[in-house]
Amino acid sequence: MGRKGTGRVDRSDGAAAVLGLESSCDETAAAVVRAGDGAVLAEAVLGQEKEHAPFGGVVPEIAARAHLEHLPRLAERVLREAGLVPADLAGVAATSGPGLIGGLVVGASVGKGIALANGLPFVAVNHLEAHALTATLPGIASPPVAFPYLLLLLSGGHCQCVAVEGVGRYRRLGTTLDDAVGEAFDKSAKLLGLPWPGGPALERLASRGEPGRVPLPRPLLGRPGCDFSWSGLKTAVAQAVARLPGASPEGAKADIAAAFQAAVAEVLADRAAHALAMLPAATALVIAGGVAANAAVRGALSGVAAERGLPLVAPPPRLCTDNAVMVAWAGAQRLRLGLSDPLGHAPRPRWPLEEMAAA
């Protein structure tokens, strides 16, 4: 992908663009984002649902092979759609952790190759930081979100309350003691016989149920702090499903799904309220990650934010799940501060957000 530049872009100004690559789990994605105003010039995402559905979850080896097959051409595609060649870019950003190591190696290697071939800076993006900074993408909130803000990171792999104080400046206020909330959605959906990925399927089923018909626990509700626990709720769902008759009507499963979703929303609202009390200077309540696309969760958290006179900032669903726009934007923010990474930077399957400042 090393070609002569078109001469259209001056890398030194805000019109320069950043290529972002995402391959941390089962989405292969690439995007080109203008560094100055965050304009998305092109983006593409390829899911792998068909490949992983027979196994009921992501198979790391299958995911890595799919990234290797599709990511280089996705990068070429978004650059072509943006009307650019690699030499026009301000830099290349690739997710380098946390995530599945095979996919991270593929994405980082592709990004480093493009950067090396064209003399561009390379940014190893922390996937969690990319989620954390999505709220600052121009156009997401009006007026724009200012630091510090409270981030609820809600995904299949993470469930955290984070004080976002600036690019590279994060304080974890609370986290899960066992499972992530997205995992709880997927496991509960599987118990209900729903297809993978379970979160969207469970939300659709819940829309037809009555949550008050099935009593389920609210783990840690009202407890001090803002930690989470979801394993007990998953167990309660399993017990509720086990009590169903052999030929249970679809409505009974819908009631369990609705009860589960209501319990999650109530707990998240309670934990968010406690976290906001721990961060009195917060300018907004921000949610990110796949579970942030759930309408019931958004509704509950919107009420918490409103009670404190704060906006709830929820990116559009396509930017809540794994995507390359957020990776490109995070890369642009780090480049703006003069931060880049050596081509020898090793991808990290575990990369706590609070380590970013030290890095």
23 is in an annotated binding site: no
10 is in an annotated binding site: no
Element containing residue 277 per DSSP (H, E): helix 250-278
155 is in an annotated binding site: yes
344 is in an annotated binding site: no
Q: Which amino acid is at 215?
A: P
186 is in an annotated binding site: yes
3-state secondary structure labels for all residues of 204-233: HHHCCCCHHHCCCCCCCCCCCCCCECCHHH
203 is in an annotated binding site: yes
Q: What is the C-alpha end-to-end distance of the chain, expressed in Å? A: 29
89 is in an annotated binding site: no
Structure tokens that stand for 23 in this block: 């391959």
| Nearest CA-CA partner of 72 in 127, 111, 33, 117 | 111
Buried b (16+ CB within 10 A) or exposed e, 278-297: ebeebbbbbbbbbbbbbebb
SS3 of residue 123 by DSSP: strand
| Nearest CA-CA partner of 124 in 95, 167, 149, 164 | 95
Q: What single DSSP character describes residue 265?
A: H
108: number of Cβ within 10 Å = 25
To the nearest 10 degrees (0 to 180), the angle between helices 250-278 and 295-307 is 30
- Measured CA to CA, the distance from residue 258 to residue 296 in angstroms comes to 10
Work out the angle at residue 111's Cα, subtended by the Cα atoms of residues 108 and 114, and round it to the nearest 5 degrees. Answer: 150
127 is in an annotated binding site: yes
- Give the annotated binding-site residues for Fe cation: 127, 131, 322
- Give the annotated binding-site residues for substrate: 153-157, 186, 199, 203, 294
- Give the annotated binding-site residues: 127, 131, 153-157, 186, 199, 203, 294, 322
